[in-house]
Amino acid sequence: MTARITHWINGQLWTGTAERSGDVYDPATGQVTKKVDFASGAVLDEAVAAAKAAFPGWRDASLTKRTQVLFAFREILNANKEQVAALITEEHGKVLSDALGEVTRGQEVVEFACGIPHLLKGGFSEGVSSGVDVYSIRQPLGVVGIISPFNFPAMVPMWFFPVAIAAGNTVVVKPSEKDPSAIMLIAQMWKQAGLPDGVFNVVHGDKEAVDGLLDNPDVKSISFVGSTPIARYIYETGTRNGKRVQALGGAKNHMLVLPDADLDLAADAAINAGFGSAGERCMAISVVLAVDPIGDELVAKIAERMPPLKTGDGRRGTDMGPLVTGVHRDKVASYVDAGEAAGATLVADGRIIDVDGDEAGFWLLPTLFDHVTTDMTIYTDEIFGPVLCVVRVPSYDAGVALINDHPYGNGTAIFTNDGGAARRFQNEIQVGMVGINVPIPVPMAYYSFGGWKASLFGDSHAHGTEGVHFFTRGKVITSRWLDPSHGGINLGFPTQS
């Protein structure tokens, strides 16, 4: 019998019967292995009601108590991360070591959130006026919604919920319906850690569940990560409904390689960042900008590193796994067709399949295009697969202009040995996360993650201090303790005296 995955509401598995469900695949075999329940609006409301009921108790739990639960959760997660990683590989397809890396990066946000007593400290000004003190505090929002994409089923939700929970909010997560199991294990870990029922809820589904979160007035904020068209929709609908929204969208990350760069380092980086996780990373490098005259040499170095790459079942020690679904594999392959038809030079053709895995898996091998031009769809669109495009540019300025003109602005990197050029790049580039000789510059948990332009809607990035601000509201208190000399009527505007 196919396993069924259902919702987690108020500290337990939902016991109802779903009217709709989705298929969950093992991408390495192409087989449906599980069914996931899709929530109706009513089920979504049930989860929000549980979260709302849990809010007053959790908000009022002492910082000490909340921190103890976070530390306990961190220990349980750390002890069981291989299990979470195995579930990710089973449903997403990424290789085990990569899945483990994802869990570790999520865990870092939990570790950051363990410092919540310090992060929530306010300011205090004594004696702003005679006998008057002013101080600030930050308080939780209430029920917060998190909607996550398929490509990081554990890490992306963990960009948000550790901070949200630590700050005293209660949470409803709507994970991707393509790989819903990892978050279920995490839900059980929270319970084991002593989190009160109703603080952490998971509702599976598609647009109906998402719209339920957007429409429910008890949901005070939405943290979304996914493709740009949906991010825009989430931002517009959520803010229209009076919610605080951070909606992280798609990407097209460029790597600019200057002639003075170490070309071996740059070629290694292009391979790792282009084909890791089969290119299904929002921080993947998808465009290499080779500044004249290094184009031929750089392309040759990248190409010579490709044949040894082993694509296959992620459980078998391969370098790269399958794509997440057959539909997505076909979409990515159609971009390879389009690039070829548009006249780009196909240096390595990933449509020629030679894998260590089941023939029915969703395979596409690493693909390299050279002489890509900016009018081609392989340049303009986010492909989200193992397709790396090389664009030749005449100068540093031409490369920077291309990056700044592109609608996306998630991540970028420069490869150079010239500190002055790197410093100029970090200043001029219109992108949220910048690497200097680092191809996937994902910020640590105590900094904030997020792009610019069409890669993020809203003004708060994820985790770090921006995350703490997103999940709390500021309040400033002006207080005077009894001093009879300050009585009396005065209708003037208060000033400091």
Question: Looking up tokens 């089941």, which residue turns up?
Answer: 358
Residues from 395 through 434 that contact ligand NAD (CB under 6 A): 410
Q: Toward ligand NAD, which CB reaches closer, 211 or 268?
A: 211
The three-state secondary structure class of 95 is coil
174 in contact with ligand NAD (CB under 6 A): yes
Residues from 191 through 220 that contact ligand NAD (CB under 6 A): 206-207, 210
225 in contact with ligand NAD (CB under 6 A): yes
CB of 151 to ligand NAD, least distance (A): 5
CB of 383 to ligand NAD, least distance (A): 10
CB of 180 to ligand NAD, least distance (A): 10
Q: Toward ligand NAD, which CB reaches closer, 168 or 439?
A: 439
226 in contact with ligand NAD (CB under 6 A): yes
Q: Which residue is nearest to ligand NAD (CB)?
A: 226
**Burial letters for 256-292: b for 16+ Cβ neighbours within 10 Å, e otherwise?**
bbbbebebeebbebbbebbbbbbbbbbbbbbbbbbbe
463 in contact with ligand NAD (CB under 6 A): no
Residue 370, strand partner residues:
345
48 in contact with ligand NAD (CB under 6 A): no
Residues sharing a CB contact under 8 Å with residue 403, sequence separation 6 or more, in sequence order: 254, 256, 289, 412, 429, 430, 431
286 in contact with ligand NAD (CB under 6 A): no
Give the H/E segment covering residue 325: none
When binding is defined by CB under 6 A, the residue of 22, 142, 238, 250 that contacts ligand NAD is 250
Q: Taking the mean position of all CA atoms in its chain, how far away is CA 138?
A: 25
20 in contact with ligand NAD (CB under 6 A): no
247 in contact with ligand NAD (CB under 6 A): no
Task: Spell out the SS3 assignment of 3-19.
Answer: EEECCEECCEECCCCCC
**Of the listed pieces 245-253, 310-318, 335-343, 392-400, which binds ligand NAD according to CB under 6 A?**
245-253
**Of the listed pieces 151-159, 286-294, 304-312, 361-369, which binds ligand NAD according to CB under 6 A?**
151-159
When binding is defined by CB under 6 A, the residue of 11, 27, 140, 149 that contacts ligand NAD is 149
114 is catalytic: no
Judge contact between 115 and 445, C-beta under 8 A. no
First to last CA, the chain: 76
Please tell me which residue in 167, 184, 203, 282 is annotated as part of the active site.
282
Q: Toward ligand NAD, which CB reaches closer, 58 or 408?
A: 408
How many Å apart are CA 473 and CA 468, to the nearest integer? 9
156 in contact with ligand NAD (CB under 6 A): yes
Q: Which two tokens stand for residue 201?
A: 């809820």
How many Å apart are CA 316 and CA 387, to the nearest integer? 23
Q: Which two tokens stand for residue 12?
A: 């337990």
CB of 264 to ligand NAD, least distance (A): 29
Q: Toward ligand NAD, which CB reaches closer, 6 or 148?
A: 148
CB of 149 to ligand NAD, least distance (A): 3
Cα distances from 166 to residues 16, 49, 59, 68, 456, in angstroms, run 30, 20, 9, 10, 24
458 in contact with ligand NAD (CB under 6 A): no
248 in contact with ligand NAD (CB under 6 A): yes
Cα distances from 138 to residues 112, 178, 209, 469, 471, in angstroms, run 17, 36, 30, 8, 9
Q: Toward ligand NAD, which CB reaches closer, 14 or 38?
A: 38
302 in contact with ligand NAD (CB under 6 A): no
The three-state secondary structure class of 144 is strand
How many Å apart are CA 2 and CA 5, to the nearest integer? 10
**Of the listed pieces 121-129, 150-158, 188-196, 421-429, which binds ligand NAD according to CB under 6 A?**
150-158
The three-state secondary structure class of 267 is helix
Q: What are phi and psi of 149, to 5 degrees?
A: -95, 175
CB of 218 to ligand NAD, least distance (A): 19
When binding is defined by CB under 6 A, the residue of 5, 147, 165, 256 that contacts ligand NAD is 147
Enzyme catalytic residues: 282
- Residues binding ligand NAD (CB under 6 A): 147-152, 156, 174, 176-177, 206-207, 210, 225-227, 230, 248-251, 282, 382, 384, 410, 451, 455
